[in-house]
Amino acid sequence: MVNIAQRMTRLNELLRLRVGGGAAILPPEVTRLHMDFVMTYDDGHKGPRNFWRNDLRRLKYYNPAIPMTVSRTENPDDPALMTIHFTSPSAAASTPPPVSSTTSPNTSTAPVTPSSSPALAERTEVFNIKSRKRYEILEQLIALTKAKQIEPTEKELNEIRELGEKREQSAKDSTLSQKVNARKKQEKRRMAIARGELTATS
């Protein structure tokens, strides 16, 4: 039987994937998203990396058929860009979406090949994401694509609230346990001193 801690961890992971920045449905005209940024340096690339680690995975969760690729370089002077590929509404309506993405959000630093999506891109929108906060990147992405953001349900809000309360209680229980163990240790030491097994200075 799965214990409570494991269940809380799994529920928390699922909630983090479903709720938050990037929880949005992209329109069928969007055929691919691509990011370029530096993988280690923080000189303007911290925001893009935070977006990749958090918001992009939620976008992928809600849009599994849209390829979302990432190219991470090691040169701090390289640009940080978001590229959105679009097709026409008529092409999007007549072309069934692919079964799955050709590349996961966690693409390595290897060069990214062109998307194999059957809907050919008719135009692209490229915008600079260097020195941008993750929420700023998301706001511009939503504005350019007209994506429909997914608001958390009442059930999810309740689950988030309950998880927060359980985390607080767990922290209190942990603190109390530490104090109890410290008192037991002190009492054990006093008993050992009383029996002559230890000196007060040892």
Show the domain range for 14.
1-19+152-202
pLDDT surpassing 50 at residue 103: no
Over residues 61-82, the pLDDT tens digits come to 999 999 999 999 888 888 999 9
Contact 17, 56 (CB under 8 A): no
Rounded to two decimals, what is the model's pTM?
A: 0.65
Work out how many domains the chain is built from and give that number.
Answer: 2
Over residues 16-58, the pLDDT tens digits come to 778 888 999 999 999 999 999 998 877 788 999 999 999 999 9
Residues 118 and 136 in one domain: yes
**Helix axes 4-18 and 154-194, enclosed angle (nearest 10):** 140
Contact 72, 38 (CB under 8 A): yes
Residues 27 and 119 in one domain: yes
CATH code of the domain in which 61 resides: 3.40.30.10
Residues 162 and 126 in one domain: no
pLDDT surpassing 80 at residue 148: yes
Residues 122 and 175 in one domain: no
Beta strand 30-38 pairing with 81-86: antiparallel
Least confident of 2-6, 157-161, 171-175, 195-199: 2-6
Residue showing tokens 């209680």: 169
